[in-house]
Structure 1
Amino acid sequence: MRRFLRENALTLFFLGILVLALIGQAFSGWSLYNDEQLAQAGAEVSLWRYLTSSSFAVDVAENWQSEYLQFFLYIFVTVWLVQRGSPESKEPGEEGLESDRAQKVGPHAADDSPRWAPIKGLRGALFSRSLGLAMGGIFLLSWLAQSLAGRAAYNAEQLASYQDPLSWTGYVTSADFWNRTTQNWQSEFLAVASMAALSIYLRQRGSPESKPVGAPDEATGIEG
Protein backbone atom coordinates (compact mmCIF):
# COMPACT_ATOMS: atom_id res chain seq x y z
CA MET A 1 0.00 0.00 0.00
CA ARG A 2 2.81 2.42 0.86
CA ARG A 3 4.43 1.79 -2.52
CA PHE A 4 1.11 2.32 -4.30
CA LEU A 5 0.56 5.63 -2.50
CA ARG A 6 4.08 6.82 -3.25
CA GLU A 7 3.97 5.89 -6.93
CA ASN A 8 0.52 7.44 -7.45
CA ALA A 9 0.84 10.36 -5.05
CA LEU A 10 0.40 13.09 -7.67
CA THR A 11 -2.90 11.73 -9.00
CA LEU A 12 -4.20 10.87 -5.52
CA PHE A 13 -3.32 14.34 -4.20
CA PHE A 14 -5.30 16.13 -6.86
CA LEU A 15 -8.22 13.71 -6.60
CA GLY A 16 -8.25 14.34 -2.86
CA ILE A 17 -8.35 18.10 -3.15
CA LEU A 18 -10.95 17.74 -5.92
CA VAL A 19 -13.23 15.99 -3.42
CA LEU A 20 -12.56 18.68 -0.81
CA ALA A 21 -13.30 21.43 -3.34
CA LEU A 22 -16.54 19.73 -4.39
CA ILE A 23 -17.59 19.45 -0.75
CA GLY A 24 -16.82 23.13 -0.22
CA GLN A 25 -18.74 24.08 -3.37
CA ALA A 26 -21.66 21.89 -2.31
CA PHE A 27 -22.12 23.56 1.08
CA SER A 28 -21.42 27.12 -0.05
CA GLY A 29 -23.64 26.71 -3.11
CA TRP A 30 -26.40 25.18 -1.02
CA SER A 31 -26.29 28.12 1.40
CA LEU A 32 -26.34 30.66 -1.44
CA TYR A 33 -29.14 28.83 -3.23
CA ASN A 34 -31.31 28.83 -0.10
CA ASP A 35 -30.59 32.52 0.50
CA GLU A 36 -31.83 33.26 -3.01
CA GLN A 37 -34.88 31.06 -2.43
CA LEU A 38 -35.81 32.96 0.72
CA ALA A 39 -35.23 36.30 -0.99
CA GLN A 40 -37.73 35.25 -3.65
CA ALA A 41 -40.25 33.94 -1.10
CA GLY A 42 -39.39 30.37 -2.05
CA ALA A 43 -38.83 27.31 0.14
CA GLU A 44 -35.42 26.13 1.30
CA VAL A 45 -34.17 22.82 -0.08
CA SER A 46 -32.20 20.01 1.49
CA LEU A 47 -28.52 19.48 0.70
CA TRP A 48 -29.34 16.31 -1.27
CA ARG A 49 -31.94 18.10 -3.36
CA TYR A 50 -29.45 20.86 -4.12
CA LEU A 51 -26.76 18.35 -5.12
CA THR A 52 -29.17 16.73 -7.59
CA SER A 53 -30.37 20.07 -8.95
CA SER A 54 -29.51 21.62 -12.30
CA SER A 55 -28.01 24.63 -10.47
CA PHE A 56 -25.26 22.52 -8.90
CA ALA A 57 -24.73 20.44 -12.04
CA VAL A 58 -24.25 23.42 -14.33
CA ASP A 59 -21.75 25.06 -11.97
CA VAL A 60 -19.64 21.87 -11.91
CA ALA A 61 -19.93 21.10 -15.62
CA GLU A 62 -19.01 24.58 -16.83
CA ASN A 63 -15.73 24.40 -14.91
CA TRP A 64 -14.90 20.87 -16.03
CA GLN A 65 -15.47 21.58 -19.71
CA SER A 66 -13.16 24.59 -19.68
CA GLU A 67 -10.38 22.61 -17.99
CA TYR A 68 -10.57 19.77 -20.48
CA LEU A 69 -10.74 22.22 -23.39
CA GLN A 70 -7.50 23.75 -22.10
CA PHE A 71 -5.73 20.37 -22.04
CA PHE A 72 -7.19 19.31 -25.40
CA LEU A 73 -5.98 22.46 -27.13
CA TYR A 74 -2.61 22.43 -25.38
CA ILE A 75 -1.89 18.81 -26.34
CA PHE A 76 -2.66 19.37 -30.02
CA VAL A 77 -1.32 22.91 -30.42
CA THR A 78 2.07 22.02 -28.91
CA VAL A 79 2.56 19.53 -31.75
CA TRP A 80 2.84 22.42 -34.20
CA LEU A 81 3.61 25.58 -32.22
CA VAL A 82 6.69 26.31 -30.12
CA GLN A 83 7.76 28.84 -27.50
CA ARG A 84 11.50 29.39 -27.40
CA GLY A 85 12.82 29.10 -23.85
CA SER A 86 9.78 27.30 -22.39
CA PRO A 87 10.07 23.79 -20.87
CA GLU A 88 6.48 23.29 -22.04
CA SER A 89 7.55 23.50 -25.70
CA LYS A 90 9.54 21.48 -28.18
CA GLU A 91 12.69 22.98 -29.65
CA PRO A 92 12.11 25.36 -32.58
CA GLY A 93 12.50 23.35 -35.77
CA GLU A 94 10.98 20.21 -34.25
CA GLU A 95 7.37 21.15 -34.99
CA GLY A 96 5.14 18.40 -36.33
CA LEU A 97 4.38 14.74 -35.69
CA GLU A 98 8.06 13.66 -35.65
CA SER A 99 9.46 10.52 -37.26
CA ASP A 100 8.41 6.96 -36.44
CA ARG A 101 11.90 6.37 -35.07
CA ALA A 102 11.67 9.32 -32.68
CA GLN A 103 8.20 8.26 -31.56
CA LYS A 104 9.12 4.55 -31.29
CA VAL A 105 6.18 3.37 -33.38
CA GLY A 106 5.80 0.70 -36.05
CA PRO A 107 9.04 -1.21 -36.62
CA HIS A 108 10.84 1.15 -34.22
CA ALA A 109 8.75 0.11 -31.19
CA ALA A 110 10.75 -1.27 -28.26
CA ASP A 111 10.06 -4.46 -26.35
CA ASP A 112 8.49 -2.49 -23.50
CA SER A 113 6.41 -0.21 -25.75
CA PRO A 114 2.60 -0.30 -25.40
CA ARG A 115 1.16 -3.18 -27.42
CA TRP A 116 -0.53 -0.83 -29.92
CA ALA A 117 2.68 1.12 -30.62
CA PRO A 118 3.95 -1.32 -33.32
CA ILE A 119 0.55 -1.45 -35.02
CA LYS A 120 -0.04 0.65 -38.12
CA GLY A 121 -3.36 1.63 -39.69
CA LEU A 122 -6.39 2.98 -37.85
CA ARG A 123 -5.59 1.45 -34.44
CA GLY A 124 -2.07 2.83 -34.51
CA ALA A 125 -3.29 6.27 -35.61
CA LEU A 126 -5.91 6.36 -32.86
CA PHE A 127 -3.49 5.23 -30.16
CA SER A 128 -0.90 7.82 -31.23
CA ARG A 129 -3.54 10.53 -30.70
CA SER A 130 -5.44 8.90 -27.84
CA LEU A 131 -4.51 11.41 -25.12
CA GLY A 132 -5.77 14.41 -27.07
CA LEU A 133 -8.86 12.54 -28.25
CA ALA A 134 -9.69 11.52 -24.69
CA MET A 135 -9.38 15.11 -23.46
CA GLY A 136 -11.45 16.35 -26.39
CA GLY A 137 -14.12 13.73 -25.77
CA ILE A 138 -14.40 14.58 -22.07
CA PHE A 139 -14.60 18.27 -23.00
CA LEU A 140 -17.50 17.66 -25.39
CA LEU A 141 -19.35 15.50 -22.85
CA SER A 142 -18.84 18.11 -20.11
CA TRP A 143 -19.97 20.87 -22.47
CA LEU A 144 -23.07 18.87 -23.34
CA ALA A 145 -23.77 18.31 -19.64
CA GLN A 146 -23.37 22.05 -19.05
CA SER A 147 -25.84 22.84 -21.82
CA LEU A 148 -28.45 20.41 -20.50
CA ALA A 149 -28.11 21.41 -16.86
CA GLY A 150 -27.83 25.09 -17.76
CA ARG A 151 -31.00 24.94 -19.82
CA ALA A 152 -32.89 23.32 -16.93
CA ALA A 153 -31.63 25.93 -14.45
CA TYR A 154 -32.34 28.79 -16.85
CA ASN A 155 -35.85 27.56 -17.62
CA ALA A 156 -36.60 27.20 -13.92
CA GLU A 157 -35.80 30.88 -13.50
CA GLN A 158 -37.84 31.73 -16.59
CA LEU A 159 -40.90 29.89 -15.29
CA ALA A 160 -40.53 31.46 -11.85
CA SER A 161 -40.66 34.84 -13.58
CA TYR A 162 -43.66 33.75 -15.72
CA GLN A 163 -41.58 33.81 -18.91
CA ASP A 164 -41.41 31.24 -21.68
CA PRO A 165 -38.77 28.48 -21.36
CA LEU A 166 -36.18 27.90 -24.09
CA SER A 167 -35.55 24.82 -26.21
CA TRP A 168 -32.09 23.25 -26.08
CA THR A 169 -31.07 24.91 -29.34
CA GLY A 170 -32.48 28.18 -28.10
CA TYR A 171 -30.47 27.93 -24.90
CA VAL A 172 -27.11 27.01 -26.51
CA THR A 173 -27.40 30.12 -28.68
CA SER A 174 -28.41 32.31 -25.75
CA ALA A 175 -26.33 34.92 -23.93
CA ASP A 176 -26.61 32.97 -20.66
CA PHE A 177 -24.93 29.88 -22.12
CA TRP A 178 -22.12 31.74 -23.81
CA ASN A 179 -21.55 34.01 -20.83
CA ARG A 180 -21.09 30.94 -18.62
CA THR A 181 -18.83 29.36 -21.23
CA THR A 182 -16.53 32.21 -22.23
CA GLN A 183 -15.94 33.49 -18.69
CA ASN A 184 -14.29 30.14 -17.95
CA TRP A 185 -12.45 29.85 -21.26
CA GLN A 186 -10.67 33.17 -20.98
CA SER A 187 -9.22 32.30 -17.57
CA GLU A 188 -7.91 28.94 -18.83
CA PHE A 189 -6.28 30.48 -21.90
CA LEU A 190 -4.65 33.18 -19.78
CA ALA A 191 -3.27 30.55 -17.39
CA VAL A 192 -1.71 28.52 -20.22
CA ALA A 193 -0.17 31.59 -21.86
CA SER A 194 1.22 32.71 -18.49
CA MET A 195 2.76 29.29 -17.81
CA ALA A 196 4.40 29.14 -21.24
CA ALA A 197 5.84 32.66 -20.94
CA LEU A 198 6.79 32.84 -17.25
CA SER A 199 8.57 29.48 -17.34
CA ILE A 200 11.10 31.03 -19.72
CA TYR A 201 12.47 33.33 -17.03
CA LEU A 202 11.30 31.89 -13.70
CA ARG A 203 12.22 28.58 -12.02
CA GLN A 204 10.79 26.10 -9.54
CA ARG A 205 13.52 23.88 -8.18
CA GLY A 206 12.74 20.17 -8.48
CA SER A 207 9.59 20.59 -10.60
CA PRO A 208 9.32 18.87 -13.99
CA GLU A 209 7.26 21.87 -15.11
CA SER A 210 10.32 24.08 -14.74
CA LYS A 211 13.78 24.16 -16.26
CA PRO A 212 16.73 23.45 -13.95
CA VAL A 213 17.46 26.54 -11.89
CA GLY A 214 20.78 27.13 -13.64
CA ALA A 215 19.55 26.50 -17.19
CA PRO A 216 19.77 29.49 -19.56
CA ASP A 217 16.58 31.38 -20.33
CA GLU A 218 16.72 30.42 -24.01
CA ALA A 219 16.90 26.68 -23.24
CA THR A 220 13.76 25.03 -24.63
CA GLY A 221 12.06 21.75 -23.86
CA ILE A 222 14.20 20.72 -20.89
CA GLU A 223 12.80 19.89 -17.48
CA GLY A 224 14.20 20.21 -13.96
Structure 2
Amino acid sequence: MKRFLRDNGLALTFGLLFLGSLTGQAFAGNADLNNRRLVDGGDPIGLWQYVFSSDFAVDVAENWQSEYLQFFLFILATVWLMQRGSNESKPAHRLGPESDEQQYLGEHAKPSSPPWARAGGWRTRLYSNSLGLLMLVLFLGSWLAQSVAGRSAYNNEQLIDFQDPVSWWEYVLSADFWNRSLQNWQSEFLAIGSMAIFSVYLRQRGSSESKPVGAPHDKTDESG
Protein backbone atom coordinates (compact mmCIF):
# COMPACT_ATOMS: atom_id res chain seq x y z
CA MET A 1 0.00 0.00 0.00
CA LYS A 2 2.81 2.42 0.86
CA ARG A 3 4.44 1.76 -2.52
CA PHE A 4 1.12 2.28 -4.32
CA LEU A 5 0.58 5.61 -2.54
CA ARG A 6 4.15 6.70 -3.34
CA ASP A 7 3.96 5.65 -7.00
CA ASN A 8 0.58 7.35 -7.54
CA GLY A 9 1.01 10.33 -5.22
CA LEU A 10 0.41 13.02 -7.83
CA ALA A 11 -2.76 11.45 -9.25
CA LEU A 12 -4.19 10.66 -5.82
CA THR A 13 -3.40 14.08 -4.35
CA PHE A 14 -4.88 16.03 -7.22
CA GLY A 15 -7.82 13.65 -7.40
CA LEU A 16 -8.63 14.39 -3.77
CA LEU A 17 -8.11 18.13 -4.31
CA PHE A 18 -10.47 17.94 -7.29
CA LEU A 19 -13.19 16.18 -5.30
CA GLY A 20 -12.76 18.54 -2.38
CA SER A 21 -12.95 21.68 -4.50
CA LEU A 22 -15.89 20.31 -6.53
CA THR A 23 -17.75 19.62 -3.29
CA GLY A 24 -16.91 23.10 -2.02
CA GLN A 25 -18.10 24.60 -5.30
CA ALA A 26 -21.41 22.75 -4.95
CA PHE A 27 -22.05 24.14 -1.45
CA ALA A 28 -20.90 27.67 -2.33
CA GLY A 29 -22.78 27.70 -5.65
CA ASN A 30 -25.96 26.47 -3.99
CA ALA A 31 -25.73 29.19 -1.34
CA ASP A 32 -25.07 31.87 -3.96
CA LEU A 33 -27.97 30.74 -6.14
CA ASN A 34 -30.34 30.65 -3.17
CA ASN A 35 -29.32 34.17 -2.16
CA ARG A 36 -30.14 35.40 -5.67
CA ARG A 37 -33.44 33.49 -5.72
CA LEU A 38 -34.49 35.03 -2.39
CA VAL A 39 -33.66 38.52 -3.69
CA ASP A 40 -35.83 37.83 -6.74
CA GLY A 41 -38.66 36.52 -4.56
CA GLY A 42 -38.10 32.84 -5.38
CA ASP A 43 -37.79 29.79 -3.17
CA PRO A 44 -34.39 28.28 -2.26
CA ILE A 45 -33.47 24.85 -3.62
CA GLY A 46 -31.69 21.94 -1.94
CA LEU A 47 -28.07 20.94 -2.52
CA TRP A 48 -28.81 17.86 -4.61
CA GLN A 49 -31.32 19.73 -6.74
CA TYR A 50 -28.61 22.33 -7.40
CA VAL A 51 -25.94 19.70 -8.19
CA PHE A 52 -28.18 18.26 -10.93
CA SER A 53 -29.16 21.69 -12.25
CA SER A 54 -27.95 23.42 -15.40
CA ASP A 55 -26.49 26.24 -13.29
CA PHE A 56 -24.00 23.88 -11.63
CA ALA A 57 -23.32 21.92 -14.83
CA VAL A 58 -22.42 24.98 -16.91
CA ASP A 59 -20.09 26.36 -14.23
CA VAL A 60 -18.24 23.05 -14.05
CA ALA A 61 -18.13 22.39 -17.79
CA GLU A 62 -16.85 25.83 -18.74
CA ASN A 63 -13.79 25.32 -16.54
CA TRP A 64 -13.16 21.77 -17.72
CA GLN A 65 -13.22 22.69 -21.40
CA SER A 66 -10.69 25.49 -20.96
CA GLU A 67 -8.31 23.19 -19.09
CA TYR A 68 -8.45 20.49 -21.76
CA LEU A 69 -8.08 23.09 -24.50
CA GLN A 70 -4.94 24.35 -22.76
CA PHE A 71 -3.41 20.88 -22.58
CA PHE A 72 -4.36 20.02 -26.16
CA LEU A 73 -2.80 23.18 -27.58
CA PHE A 74 0.29 22.93 -25.38
CA ILE A 75 0.89 19.28 -26.32
CA LEU A 76 0.53 20.14 -30.01
CA ALA A 77 2.54 23.37 -29.85
CA THR A 78 5.52 21.77 -28.11
CA VAL A 79 5.98 19.41 -31.07
CA TRP A 80 6.90 22.31 -33.36
CA LEU A 81 7.58 25.37 -31.17
CA MET A 82 10.29 26.00 -28.60
CA GLN A 83 11.17 28.41 -25.82
CA ARG A 84 14.92 28.59 -25.36
CA GLY A 85 15.92 27.99 -21.76
CA SER A 86 12.58 26.48 -20.69
CA ASN A 87 12.35 22.93 -19.40
CA GLU A 88 8.84 22.89 -20.93
CA SER A 89 10.41 23.03 -24.41
CA LYS A 90 12.46 20.72 -26.59
CA PRO A 91 15.78 22.03 -27.95
CA ALA A 92 15.87 23.29 -31.54
CA HIS A 93 17.45 20.14 -33.01
CA ARG A 94 14.52 18.01 -31.81
CA LEU A 95 11.64 20.12 -33.13
CA GLY A 96 9.04 18.18 -35.08
CA PRO A 97 7.68 14.64 -34.57
CA GLU A 98 11.23 13.16 -34.43
CA SER A 99 12.48 9.94 -36.01
CA ASP A 100 11.28 6.41 -35.25
CA GLU A 101 14.62 5.76 -33.59
CA GLN A 102 14.26 8.76 -31.26
CA GLN A 103 10.69 7.73 -30.41
CA TYR A 104 11.46 4.00 -29.97
CA LEU A 105 9.00 2.93 -32.69
CA GLY A 106 8.85 -0.22 -34.82
CA GLU A 107 12.19 -1.97 -34.98
CA HIS A 108 13.60 0.60 -32.56
CA ALA A 109 11.10 -0.30 -29.82
CA LYS A 110 12.46 -1.50 -26.51
CA PRO A 111 11.35 -4.75 -24.81
CA SER A 112 9.30 -2.70 -22.36
CA SER A 113 7.75 -0.44 -25.03
CA PRO A 114 3.93 -0.46 -25.35
CA PRO A 115 2.75 -3.07 -27.92
CA TRP A 116 1.28 -0.48 -30.28
CA ALA A 117 4.64 1.33 -30.42
CA ARG A 118 6.10 -1.66 -32.27
CA ALA A 119 2.93 -2.74 -34.14
CA GLY A 120 3.35 -0.36 -37.10
CA GLY A 121 0.61 0.95 -39.41
CA TRP A 122 -2.48 2.72 -38.15
CA ARG A 123 -2.09 1.44 -34.60
CA THR A 124 1.30 3.10 -34.17
CA ARG A 125 0.08 6.30 -35.85
CA LEU A 126 -2.95 6.41 -33.57
CA TYR A 127 -0.96 5.65 -30.43
CA SER A 128 1.66 8.23 -31.47
CA ASN A 129 -1.02 10.93 -31.24
CA SER A 130 -3.26 9.40 -28.58
CA LEU A 131 -2.57 11.93 -25.82
CA GLY A 132 -3.34 14.96 -27.96
CA LEU A 133 -6.42 13.28 -29.44
CA LEU A 134 -7.78 12.44 -26.00
CA MET A 135 -7.32 16.03 -24.83
CA LEU A 136 -9.13 17.23 -27.98
CA VAL A 137 -12.04 14.83 -27.44
CA LEU A 138 -12.35 15.84 -23.77
CA PHE A 139 -12.25 19.52 -24.75
CA LEU A 140 -14.94 19.13 -27.41
CA GLY A 141 -17.09 16.99 -25.12
CA SER A 142 -16.93 19.43 -22.21
CA TRP A 143 -17.47 22.39 -24.54
CA LEU A 144 -20.58 20.68 -25.91
CA ALA A 145 -21.76 20.00 -22.36
CA GLN A 146 -21.18 23.66 -21.52
CA SER A 147 -23.27 24.76 -24.50
CA VAL A 148 -26.18 22.47 -23.60
CA ALA A 149 -26.17 23.30 -19.88
CA GLY A 150 -25.49 26.96 -20.58
CA ARG A 151 -28.46 27.20 -22.92
CA SER A 152 -30.72 25.66 -20.30
CA ALA A 153 -29.50 28.06 -17.60
CA TYR A 154 -29.74 31.01 -20.00
CA ASN A 155 -33.29 30.11 -21.01
CA ASN A 156 -34.31 29.86 -17.36
CA GLU A 157 -33.18 33.46 -16.93
CA GLN A 158 -34.99 34.43 -20.12
CA LEU A 159 -38.26 32.97 -18.85
CA ILE A 160 -37.86 34.68 -15.47
CA ASP A 161 -37.46 37.99 -17.33
CA PHE A 162 -40.49 37.16 -19.53
CA GLN A 163 -38.35 36.84 -22.65
CA ASP A 164 -38.37 34.13 -25.32
CA PRO A 165 -36.00 31.14 -24.92
CA VAL A 166 -33.28 30.67 -27.56
CA SER A 167 -32.27 27.67 -29.64
CA TRP A 168 -28.97 25.83 -29.16
CA TRP A 169 -27.45 27.55 -32.21
CA GLU A 170 -28.60 30.96 -31.03
CA TYR A 171 -27.03 30.35 -27.65
CA VAL A 172 -23.74 29.11 -29.13
CA LEU A 173 -23.52 32.37 -31.09
CA SER A 174 -24.54 34.51 -28.12
CA ALA A 175 -22.38 36.84 -26.06
CA ASP A 176 -23.12 34.84 -22.90
CA PHE A 177 -21.61 31.65 -24.32
CA TRP A 178 -18.49 33.33 -25.69
CA ASN A 179 -18.00 35.43 -22.57
CA ARG A 180 -18.00 32.24 -20.49
CA SER A 181 -15.56 30.55 -22.87
CA LEU A 182 -13.11 33.38 -23.52
CA GLN A 183 -12.78 34.48 -19.90
CA ASN A 184 -11.46 31.00 -19.15
CA TRP A 185 -9.33 30.65 -22.28
CA GLN A 186 -7.40 33.87 -21.70
CA SER A 187 -6.48 32.83 -18.17
CA GLU A 188 -5.24 29.41 -19.34
CA PHE A 189 -3.13 30.91 -22.13
CA LEU A 190 -1.66 33.46 -19.74
CA ALA A 191 -0.80 30.79 -17.17
CA ILE A 192 0.90 28.40 -19.58
CA GLY A 193 2.79 31.20 -21.36
CA SER A 194 3.94 32.59 -18.02
CA MET A 195 5.13 29.14 -16.91
CA ALA A 196 7.18 28.71 -20.09
CA ILE A 197 8.89 32.09 -19.60
CA PHE A 198 9.33 32.03 -15.82
CA SER A 199 10.91 28.56 -15.91
CA VAL A 200 13.78 30.01 -17.96
CA TYR A 201 14.94 32.24 -15.11
CA LEU A 202 13.34 30.88 -11.92
CA ARG A 203 13.80 27.51 -10.16
CA GLN A 204 12.02 25.17 -7.78
CA ARG A 205 14.49 22.76 -6.28
CA GLY A 206 13.56 19.11 -6.78
CA SER A 207 10.59 19.75 -9.10
CA SER A 208 10.37 18.12 -12.53
CA GLU A 209 8.69 21.34 -13.66
CA SER A 210 11.93 23.24 -13.02
CA LYS A 211 15.50 23.00 -14.24
CA PRO A 212 18.20 22.17 -11.68
CA VAL A 213 18.86 25.25 -9.56
CA GLY A 214 22.36 25.67 -10.94
CA ALA A 215 21.45 25.10 -14.61
CA PRO A 216 22.25 27.99 -17.02
CA HIS A 217 19.30 30.14 -18.08
CA ASP A 218 19.70 29.13 -21.74
CA LYS A 219 19.70 25.37 -20.96
CA THR A 220 16.65 23.88 -22.67
CA ASP A 221 14.78 20.63 -22.01
CA GLU A 222 16.26 19.71 -18.65
CA SER A 223 14.38 18.96 -15.45
CA GLY A 224 15.81 18.77 -11.94
Output the TM-score relative to the length of structure 1. Answer: 0.99
* Distance in 1 (alpha carbons) for counterparts of 2:160 and 2:93: 59
User: 1:179 is matched with which residue?
Assistant: 179
2 CA distance for matches of 1:58 and 1:108?
46
Q: Is the aligned partner of 1:97 residue 2:119?
A: no
2:147 match: 147
Equivalent residue letter for 2:98: E
User: Hey, what does 1:81 align to over in structure 2?
Assistant: 81
Between the aligned partners of 2:94 and 2:105, the Cα distance in structure 1 is: 18
Taking the TM superposition and a 5 Å limit, the aligned residue runs for 1:174-213 are 174-213=174-213
- Deviation readout 1:56-88 (Å, 9 max, x if unpaired): 000000000000000000001100000000000
Residue 46 of structure 1 corresponds to which residue in structure 2? 46
Equivalent runs, 1:13-28 vs 2, <5 Å: 13-28=13-28
Task: State the match for 2:170 in structure 1.
Answer: 170
**Which 4+ stretches in 1 moved above 4 angstroms?**
none
Question: How far has the Cα of 1:2 moved from its partner?
Answer: 1.5
Query: 1:62 is matched with which residue?
Result: 62
Distance 2:103 2:218 in 1: 25
Let me know the Cα RMSD of the aligned residues. 0.6
Question: What is the CA-CA distance between 1:55 and the residue it aligns to?
Answer: 0.2
Tell me how far 1:23 sits from its aligned partner.
1.1
Deviations 1:97-138 (A, max 9, x none): 000000000111111100100122111101000001011110
Identity of aligned pairs, percent? Answer: 60
CA distance in 1, matches of 2:167, 2:139: 22
Q: Specify every segment of 5 or more residues in structure 1 that has no aligned partner in the other structure, as ranges.
A: none
| Residue 156 of structure 2 is aligned to residue 156 of structure 1 | yes
Partner SS, residue 118 of structure 2: coil
SS of aligned partner of 2:179: helix
Q: Partners in 1 of 2:124 and 2:29 — Cα distance? A: 45
Q: How far, CA to CA, are the matches of 2:109 and 2:202 in structure 1?
A: 36
Q: Distance in 1 between matches of 2:93 and 2:112?
A: 29
Cα distance in 2 for residues equivalent to 1:109 and 1:2: 32
Trace 1:123-134 onto structure 2 (pairs within 5 A).
123-134=123-134
Equivalent residue, structure 1, for 2:111: 111
The whole-number CA distance in structure 1 between the counterparts of 2:133 and 2:4 is: 28
Amino acid in the other structure paired with 1:165: P
> Secondary structure of the residue that 1:217 maps to in structure 2?
coil
Deviation at 1:147, TM superposition (A): 0.3
Distance (Å, rounded) in 2 between the aligned partners of 1:174 and 1:21: 29
Q: Which structure 2 segments of 5+ residues have no match? A: none
Q: Note the C-alpha offset of 1:42.
A: 0.6
TM-score, normalised with respect to structure 2: 0.99
How far apart, in 2, do the equivalents of 1:38 and 1:189 lie? 37
1:125 and 1:94 mapped to 2: Cα distance?
A: 19
